[in-house]
Structure 1
Amino acid sequence: MTQAMQSQDPLKPGYPFNAHLVAGITPIVKGGELDFWIDRPNGLKGYIINMTVSGAGLVFPGTDQERTVAKGDMMILPASAVHDYGRHPDYHNWYHRWIYFRPRATWHDWLDWTDKHMNVGFLSLSKQPSDVEANVIDGLFQNVEQNSKRQSILSEELSLNLLEQILIRCRELDHSKPMEPIDARILRACQFIHDNIASELTIDELAQVACMSQSRFSHLFKQQKNVSVRQWIEDQRIALARQLLITTDLAINQVAQYLGYQDALYFSRVFKKNLGESPREFRQSQR
């Protein structure tokens, strides 16, 4: 198989992982074609969430952070985290489901698992009282993979929705991490942003909606959402832009105006900064 062909297969070396979401299962068998070590010292641009369904893998071998992942064990590898894993030498196989994705800003808290080693999060579903959660999450992984391969303008959105369910369930099962409810004032401001997404929103205006001082509002917003107010507004606009580019025939400048960007070139620069491609390139890739 040539390198060019290999680069089209996410299970083989050389795959660029430049999509927003890719999913699959890696069936590693001792001595088989896929029985090689994953060594990415600089990680990837996006995240990978991984669930072992058979056999076992070994992570960070030969270090004080070495971990074995067996059936029901999960990993989440953030962007740029070191990838150093493969089939455990004491096991004949390692089958693991995985999803590569670019996270939404609202997911930040769900991506930060308590049990971390070298910035990689670990969660064991086998320690739960029953197999129900493991079976549900396994089914969601399969649904993400199936939907990510469909030729539909909304297949990626549906896949992201299913992935969100996986992340929320994992967050619920991470019992060592306390749940922090979102302050009602921040929720009110977020709803105001959604209702006025095309407006020139200011911190002062949002602070008034939340009945707080500007400094207190900005601090509490970042504390609860893990991103600044400005970044959160931008993330919401880009998320809506993606939907409009996929589901409508609006021109790029019309999409920009709909979202409150008076300068279409500036909108294109912001879009490319967030997603790595221009609005036009993104639209073409979805057809």
Structure 2
Amino acid sequence: MTDSADISTIQLAARAFYAWFHGRQPEPAGVLAIQAFLGTPIDTDELNRLGERLQQNQAFLEAQRPLVEKWQRRMSSPTGISDEDAATLIEELFSGFDHALLYERNIRASSTLVHRGQVNSVHARVEEMPCWTLHLNLAGGGIFLSENMERRTAPGDMMLMRPDARYHYGLHPLEEDWQHLWALFQPRPHWSELTAWKELDQGILLLALPEGEARLKVERLFRELIDIGQSGSIEQSNLQHNKLEEILIRARVALGDQESKPVDSRIRHACEYMQSRLEQKFTLEEVASDCNLSISRFAHLFAEQMGLGPKAWINDIRLQKARKLLLTTDEKISRIGSLVGYEDPAHFTRYFSKNMGCSPRHFRRSFSKDT
């Protein structure tokens, strides 16, 4: 058997996860390796409690048993496994991982730091949760994708997911890391007004905290929420709910009562006009004419209302639709390019790679349906 001194952190993590999925308690070195690669503080007791829930979930066991058996011979090999095999093993073990198993009766809150290339940079898919999920982006950025929306998170973004939300999320391809705080919880009845945030898609809500003391205060409260969960106090549940309620109140106060300014009807019509013609060639002059505007007035008004010029906007919309098609269909990449207005597949790949930091093929593989 390979000497433990020669085993890398990712190999230790793979062995610990393999033992864990077998229902065995990981050794201390394995727990440290798990912490390093999850980017989340988690102790042996927490792992054991989660492991117990895994072993009680028949659907999960049936899905994971073939994978555990697949790796049995290689894990028992005297030569051990390579770093590449270890990364593949962890990725396969967590394919289709039921995030609902993370939820306990009390509020569960923690922090996660994702680094590119580590195991936790693999993207995840969430179908349904038995609870609400709150994320606070601290540094770097993640990406949240669903059927009808895409959001690249920035520092100060708070993403709130209801149980009916269905989405993919992970480290944004253009970011090297992503640090965020998160909480799983059941809202109290009187929180409905506090959680009336901007809805991006079904069950997916956003509140962007402006930079300044208010954002720092929410972050401090969130860290206190995490600390309370590790205290073991007999009043832990009440203290956590009170702290989370204060977070939601502070967030709403920081946002203020400002309502989004309605988009000019002519610009709204222009957006609909361009979105309905993604496969076609059209000029901005044609769009402006259809809106009864001169091209100069159209360009100025569009940028004022939408925050960027019409050409940049339509390119973003094309790439957003391309990413959704890569996620939700098995269409060839060249076909997807043509469906969003790129006749030349090579041009589509170059433009996609320039804007996302990875090729369409790599993006599809990162967000595959099995992760």
Q: Corresponding residue for 1:40?
A: 126
- The amino acid that maps onto 1:52 is N
Q: Corresponding residue for 2:238?
A: 157
For residues 98-142 of structure 1, give each alpha carbon's deviation from its aligned partner in whole angstroms, at most 9, with x where no partner exists: 0110111111111120243332111111xx3x5101100000110
8 Å contact 1:77–1:120 — kept in the other structure? yes
1:166 is aligned, of 232, 247, 256, to 247
8 Å contact 2:109–2:184 — kept in the other structure? yes
Q: Corresponding residue for 1:50?
A: 135
SS in 1 for 2:251: helix
8 Å contact 2:164–2:203 — kept in the other structure? no
SS in 1 for 2:143: strand
The 1:172–1:116 alpha-carbon spacing in structure 2 relative to 1, beyond 3 Å, is farther
Distance 1:33 1:19 in 2: 28
Q: Corresponding residue for 1:261?
A: none
Q: Corresponding residue for 1:183?
A: none
Q: Which has the higher helix share?
A: 2
Task: Verify: 1:30 aligned to 2:111, yes or no.
Answer: no
- Shift in Å at residue 26 of structure 1? 1.2
Q: Corresponding residue for 2:106?
A: 20
Task: Verify: 1:132 aligned to 2:227, yes or no.
Answer: no
Distance 2:151 2:124 in 1: 15
Q: Corresponding residue for 2:162?
A: 78
The 1:73–1:151 alpha-carbon spacing in structure 2 relative to 1, beyond 3 Å, is same
Distance 1:177 1:22 in 2: 31
8 Å contact 1:113–1:174 — kept in the other structure? no
- The amino acid that maps onto 1:76 is L
SS in 1 for 2:153: strand
Distance 1:106 1:86 in 2: 31
For residues 225-248 of structure 1, give each alpha carbon's deviation from its aligned partner in whole angstroms, at most 9, with x where no partner exists: xxxxxxxxxxxxxxxxxxxxxxxx
Q: Corresponding residue for 1:103?
A: 187
SS in 1 for 2:194: helix
1:114 is aligned, of 191, 194, 198, to 198
SS in 1 for 2:237: helix
Distance 1:64 1:38 in 2: 18
1:205-220 matches, cutoff 5 A: none
The 1:25–1:53 alpha-carbon spacing in structure 2 relative to 1, beyond 3 Å, is same
For residues 262-285 of structure 1, give each alpha carbon's deviation from its aligned partner in whole angstroms, at most 9, with x where no partner exists: xxxxxxxxxxxxxxxxxxxxxxxx
Larger radius of gyration: 2
Task: Verify: 1:147 aligned to 2:232, yes or no.
Answer: no
8 Å contact 2:145–2:151 — kept in the other structure? yes
For residues 63-101 of structure 1, give each alpha carbon's deviation from its aligned partner in whole angstroms, at most 9, with x where no partner exists: 551111011111000122113111000000111100110
Distance 1:116 1:170 in 2: 18
1:56-67 matches, cutoff 5 A: 56-60=141-145, 64-67=148-151
- Shift in Å at residue 8 of structure 1? 2.3
Distance 2:137 2:174 in 1: 15
SS in 1 for 2:228: helix
Distance 2:236 2:50 in 1: 20
- Shift in Å at residue 168 of structure 1? 0.9
TM-score normalised to structure 1 length: 0.55
- Please, what is the CA RMSD of the aligned residues? 2.4
Distance 1:84 1:14 in 2: 13
Distance 2:133 2:118 in 1: 23
Q: Which has the higher strand share?
A: 1
TM-score normalised to structure 2 length: 0.43
Uncovered stretches (5+) of structure 1, i.e. residues with no partner: 179-287
Distance 1:146 1:87 in 2: 25
- The amino acid that maps onto 2:115 is V
8 Å contact 2:208–2:255 — kept in the other structure? no
